[in-house]
Structure 1
């Protein structure tokens, strides 16, 4: 029997930045059967309180969230940090400096705030919609973050071919100490090497005393790959690209906005008996 379900948020669980009623109802039924439902997201923790409220785990003991693609694990009661592994300033600076002459919006996340450089209007609007604490920085200088806990850095552009080309041509001296993934068809995500959703879920699964084979992971994009591969049951949403789908043990019939998470819960939790 599966004990924990790890779920990506954007393009998996959420519709318009909220958990739709059909997913809420399925999650609550699964929780009544003893399943822990854990968001496993690239977002910061301070971007998900409303989502946690919608699934009934906000500020609750023995309820958890994984953020920053596995870089942060939090117990929801009093926002207790169980694990954090960020991106050191030197490596972040290399990526930041390389992005200066690129045609991308650059976002640097600390635990507490998102700092936006080369600000893109649509990216600012997205952060407002996500209710994310953020600041637009007009000067291209991140030295004020030298003593902050940096979680990750992103390049944003709504052109995946261009983003992949950036990674392909980026000097190895910059790439060698970071983990690089893509998400939401608009981001290159840079975490410190060894940090991914799979390592985050392994940490929490071990912390709770469960076996990794008792876990379900569901996602849709490249930053979900290690979660999908690590989970006892790796599930992929119908909207995912074919190479991500190829990694899954189950691909949903429904897309994220039609109940992909609900489908997996019903198939593997509510109807397993």
Structure 2
């Protein structure tokens, strides 16, 4: 029996309008009602998904959790208590930022509680607005305001997949800190500390809860979900997942994220 479900949000749980369908909501609530832990495992900040947690009945709940920043932080929902972090150092963030600026690429820097964005394109602005993402603009290229903040991750956004691939290949050799490099949402290349990924954080949380690997289900759609799909006892790709994710998954839903693929998997494998 599955006791822990970790689930990506964008393009997995959320539909094209960034909403949780009624079918997904009902399946998740049924799983939690039978004693399960449903844990959003997202590249986003835990603070940015509080409305989603509220809809699912998980907001402010003890013994329910969020894995944020691609495994950069594990947070208990009651009081948003941060249980573990895997941050990047300032020098690495600054170096990646400087490379991106020289390439005229926009992006995001996540601290534990804030998001900073520089030069979003029109399409990126629309994407952020649709999801109600709250952020501050970067106005100081020295990034001095970040020196004393815990830095969770940095991501770069470009509409050209070839450009994203080139950045993913060229940046890690230029910095001293080992990086975990992933892609998400068909628009981002993301850089975390190598100790942070969705799979490692899933297993870390499972160990805390006394849950075995065989009792974990993971659902995702893109390369930043691969680590948790491979780590879980049952890895699931929604139908709109990338070819790489589908190949790694134990099960591929017939429904995509816009048609409650998450509910399909939960109902098939996780409900009594």
Sort the TM-score into its range (normalised by shorter chain): over 0.9
> Where does residue 11 of structure 2 map in the other structure?
11
> Where does residue 2 of structure 2 map in the other structure?
2
Does the 8 Å contact 2:183/2:223 carry over to 1?
yes
Residues in 1 aligned to 2:113 and 2:216: alpha-carbon distance in whole angstroms: 29
Deviations 1:55-81 (A, max 9, x none): 110001111110000111111001111
Q: CA deviation at 1:167?
A: 2.0
- Asked if 1:32 corresponds to 2:30, the answer is no
> Where does residue 59 of structure 1 map in the other structure?
60
Q: CA deviation at 1:176?
A: 5.5
Q: SS in structure 2 opposite 1:182?
A: strand
Does the 8 Å contact 1:228/1:234 carry over to 2?
yes
Q: What TM-score does the superposition give when structure 2 sets the normalisation length?
A: 0.95
Does the 8 Å contact 2:172/2:178 carry over to 1?
no
Does the 8 Å contact 1:100/1:140 carry over to 2?
no
> Where does residue 198 of structure 1 map in the other structure?
199
Larger deviation: 157-166 or 170-179?
A: 170-179
* Unaligned residue ranges in structure 1 (runs of 5+): none
> Where does residue 69 of structure 1 map in the other structure?
70
Q: SS in structure 1 opposite 2:175?
A: helix
Q: CA deviation at 1:36?
A: 1.3
Residues in 1 aligned to 2:88 and 2:195: alpha-carbon distance in whole angstroms: 11
Does the 8 Å contact 2:92/2:177 carry over to 1?
no
* Unaligned residue ranges in structure 2 (runs of 5+): none
Tell me: CA distance 1:171–1:193, structure 2 relative to 1, closer, same or farther (3 Å): closer
> Where does residue 90 of structure 2 map in the other structure?
89
Aligned positions of 1:117-196 closer than 5 A: 117-170=118-171, 172-174=173-175, 177-196=178-197
Deviations 1:36-60 (A, max 9, x none): 1110000001110001011110001
Does the 8 Å contact 1:14/1:256 carry over to 2?
yes
> Where does residue 248 of structure 2 map in the other structure?
247
Q: CA deviation at 1:119?
A: 2.9
Q: CA deviation at 1:118?
A: 2.5
Does the 8 Å contact 1:59/1:77 carry over to 2?
yes
Residues in 1 aligned to 2:131 and 2:170: alpha-carbon distance in whole angstroms: 31
Tell me: CA distance 1:56–1:265, structure 2 relative to 1, closer, same or farther (3 Å): same
Does the 8 Å contact 1:47/1:130 carry over to 2?
no
- Asked if 1:104 corresponds to 2:133, the answer is no
Residues in 1 aligned to 2:130 and 2:248: alpha-carbon distance in whole angstroms: 31
Alignment root-mean-square deviation, CA: 1.5
Tell me: CA distance 1:96–1:34, structure 2 relative to 1, closer, same or farther (3 Å): same
Deviations 1:92-124 (A, max 9, x none): 111111111113212111112111112323323
> Where does residue 221 of structure 2 map in the other structure?
220
Q: CA deviation at 1:213?
A: 1.2
